[in-house]
Structure 1
Amino acid sequence: MMLGVSIGAVGIPLDVVWSVVASHLVPGSVEVTWSAGRDNIVWEVRLPRIILGAIVGAILALVGAALQSVTRNQLADPHLLGISSGAALGAIIVLLHTGMFLGLVTVPLFAFAGALATTVLVVGVANLTNATNASRLVLTGVAISFIVTSLGSLGIFLGDPRAAHTVVFWMLGGLGLSQWAQLPYPLIALVAGGGYLMWNARYLNAMTLGDESATTLGIPAGRFRMVVFVVCALLTGAAVAFSGVISFVGLMIPHLVRMVVGGDYRRVLPLSALVGAIFLVLADMVARIVIPPQDVPLGVITGLVGGLFFILLMRRSQRLG
């Protein structure tokens, strides 16, 4: 993370980065030998951006791992069940139609509401059509995702064309608008939601065996799956609200972790959070140095890496077969 603060269009030595951070955390502890411009770059611009990237990366990796367990689908991620699409729709409504009438929390609130509403819709349609098993629930989520994505596209089409570029960049993902005042919201979501998932890691282990096996072990499979969906909606809404839609992190990172430590979710969840945080910080570093001083959208970087990863994974799986 400190390396991420150091690298950018304006390079800042690591010792200066550490000194700036120390001077803000403990005023007077370090003699100030750097310019006000460098102080502003480190403390006001890059550090909140890097911290947000680590939080969002951890959230997306946790959500992907949890969804892959309860759906028994190795391709599950926040996009699969329409959760990211719902959060994006909420943000589009704010950015193009209602405006920031509640201040800085307007986009996060609407993104969270969109993610939660989409989750409720998926669960409701699944119950209505008796599609409560894992495979049919995934199909329901994909169908709802198409509908919500279409509504988001309609919102962009009907919105102010002058503001459309802001929405497009936000939908591609990025950390360029991060602020200190925003960080507590995704951090609280990560601690609360991630804590719940890790506390129930043994339940997630059982869910990978199927509903019948989980029920035999005394786990209410259907109810637990619905609770996990709601927790994942909270986490995804908090992440998407501040970083936009960033793909492939929740899909790719749990695979990498399981390849190293196996399938026990007591290890998979915390390591997925750690590796997801590291991956997104590294991706943001690349996004800032590819075409300086412009930022390449994070979704472009993660999409390229994720696509190449799965091509290699398919080749490996074919060779093992």
Structure 2
Amino acid sequence: MTTEIDDLDHDRRRRNTWWWMGGLIIALLVSIPITVGLGPVGIAPGTVAQIVSHHLFGVPQEVTWTSAEDAIVWLLRVPRVLLGVAVGAGLAIAGVALQALTRNMLAEPYLLGVTSGASTLAAASILFGFGAGIGSSSLAASAAIGALLAGVGVFLLARVRGQMTSTRLVLAGVSVGYVLHAITSFLIFASDNPDAGRAVLFWILGSLTLASGGSALITAVVVLATLLTLLIVARSLDALAIGDNTAQTLGISPNKLRAGAMLVVALCVGSLVAASGGIGFVGLIIPHVARMCVGTAHRRLLPVAAMFGAIFLIWADVLARTVLAPQELPLGIVTALVGAPLLFVLIRRLDPTR
């Protein structure tokens, strides 16, 4: 009698995924009321829960908190934290997808110019009224268009004689990113409104200050749609992450998969930048943390990375609004200061042969 051997350790990875997802869901549910209560004005988690329950379900009927606490929790911090959950999850899954498409451990929305494209047109919208005819959604539309144009530009530059390799994709992304960053800097310099220039600079570095119920809902829908789309092609991403030859052997077209995934990621990142500005390091560091926990299979990796990203960003936002209270730090500064040491740790733990 022979015993079947699981050489790839799939069973343990699968069990680990369920444990990690369960633990991360609990951690997120616990983190949300705590982070809502933290800030320049501290509010107890129990009071936060009562305020939210009162607005959603009418329970408790008796109001034992002040009107100021009600406004801070329901109008300011709940939308802010929920937007942070959506943005953190979206940046993490975008990073996972881009690292698979390029087979590059350093790939993230910033590296491939997608974030820079969204930031450039969004800055043009704020400083010079670009897309003002669209109405109140001009900023979001400009960011989405910028991300999409940057993604298309990177794709066209990387495609030579009908072929597109991961190396060319990364090099094209870096080139486009530098050009767009220079254009954004020029727009800030050319603006005759110093206050608007400072606002754009703060917004480019990332912030959840402009969060609202509507922006949180729209962003969450976009991120969920992106996650479901990437889960559908998860096995194809697994093959592509190994190599183009492996993908072609399995009947997958690397060029078509890269083009479709880049389009999905660009639209997702555009909506994220429109809602929160450019936030770095989340899409770079979180995928590696998730891989250490559940392995490289994208069907497991994507949801776990999304949960890690959501938790990481809402706690980073707590630091952003409390470290120098009442002044608020740009969120991108906090994620870089926290993410860089984590990256150093990961570098030390890397296989020296890689």
TM-score of the pair, normalised by structure 1: 0.96
Q: Which residue of 1 aligns with 2:103?
A: 72
Q: 3-state SS of the aligned residue for 1:104?
A: coil
1:114 aligns with 2:149: no
Aligned partners of 1:69 and 1:204 also within 8 Å: yes
Q: Distance in 1 between matches of 2:138 and 2:332?
A: 23
1:47 aligns with 2:75: no
Quick one: which of 170, 174, 186 aligns to 1:138? 170
Quick one: which of 40, 65, 69 aligns to 1:9? 40
Q: Which residue of 1 aligns with 2:330?
A: 297
Q: 3-state SS of the aligned residue for 2:164?
A: coil
Quick one: which of 179, 192, 205 aligns to 1:172? 205
Q: Deviations over 1:32-60 (max 9, x none)?
A: 11111100000000000000000000000
Aligned partners of 1:175 and 1:243 also within 8 Å: yes
Quick one: which of 79, 83, 90 aligns to 1:59? 90
Q: Distance in 1 between matches of 2:161 and 2:330?
A: 39
How many angstroms does 1:28 deviate by?
5.0
Q: Which residue of 2 aligns with 1:87?
A: 118
Alignment-mate amino acid for residue 278 of structure 1 = I
Give structure 1 stretches of 5+ with no counterpart.
none
Q: Distance in 1 between matches of 2:46 and 2:326?
A: 23
Q: Distance in 1 between matches of 2:331 and 2:202?
A: 9
In the TM superposition, 1:164-313 aligns within 5 A as 164-313=197-346
How many angstroms does 1:242 deviate by?
0.8
* CA 1:149–1:130: 2 relative to 1, 3 Å: farther
* CA 1:207–1:182: 2 relative to 1, 3 Å: same
Q: Distance in 2 between matches of 1:143 and 1:266?
A: 31
Q: Distance in 1 between matches of 2:240 and 2:166?
A: 10
Q: Distance in 2 between matches of 1:31 and 1:190?
A: 37
How many angstroms does 1:246 deviate by?
0.3
How many angstroms does 1:239 deviate by?
0.5
Q: Distance in 2 between matches of 1:28 and 1:269?
A: 36
Alignment-mate amino acid for residue 73 of structure 1 = N
Q: Distance in 2 between matches of 1:311 and 1:193?
A: 29
How many angstroms does 1:317 deviate by?
2.7
Aligned partners of 2:205 and 2:332 also within 8 Å: yes
Task: Point out the more displaced range, 288-297 or 66-75.
Answer: 288-297
Alignment-mate amino acid for residue 118 of structure 1 = A
Aligned partners of 2:234 and 2:299 also within 8 Å: yes
Q: Deviations over 1:110-131 (max 9, x none)?
A: 0000000111111122225666
Q: Which residue of 1 aligns with 2:14?
A: none
Aligned partners of 1:55 and 1:190 also within 8 Å: yes
Percent identity of paired positions between Structure 1 and Structure 2: 41
How many angstroms does 1:140 deviate by?
1.0
Aligned partners of 2:163 and 2:255 also within 8 Å: no
Alignment-mate amino acid for residue 309 of structure 2 = G
* CA 1:319–1:200: 2 relative to 1, 3 Å: closer
Alignment-mate amino acid for residue 181 of structure 1 = G
Q: 3-state SS of the aligned residue for 1:75?
A: coil
Task: Point out the more displaced range, 156-165 or 72-81.
Answer: 156-165
Give structure 2 stretches of 5+ with no counterpart.
1-31
Q: Deviations over 1:149-186 (max 9, x none)?
A: 11111111111223111001101101011111222321
TM-score of the pair, normalised by structure 2: 0.87
Aligned partners of 1:22 and 1:30 also within 8 Å: no
How many angstroms does 1:320 deviate by?
8.2
Q: Distance in 1 between matches of 2:278 and 2:70?
A: 30
Q: Distance in 1 between matches of 2:206 and 2:321?
A: 13
Q: Distance in 2 between matches of 1:311 and 1:88?
A: 28
> Over aligned residue pairs, what C-alpha RMSD do you find?
1.6
Q: Which residue of 1 aligns with 2:179?
A: 147
Aligned partners of 1:19 and 1:30 also within 8 Å: no
Q: Distance in 2 between matches of 1:172 and 1:196?
A: 28
Alignment-mate amino acid for residue 134 of structure 1 = S
How many angstroms does 1:218 deviate by?
1.1
Alignment-mate amino acid for residue 228 of structure 2 = G
Alignment-mate amino acid for residue 152 of structure 2 = V
Q: Which residue of 1 aligns with 2:69?
A: 38
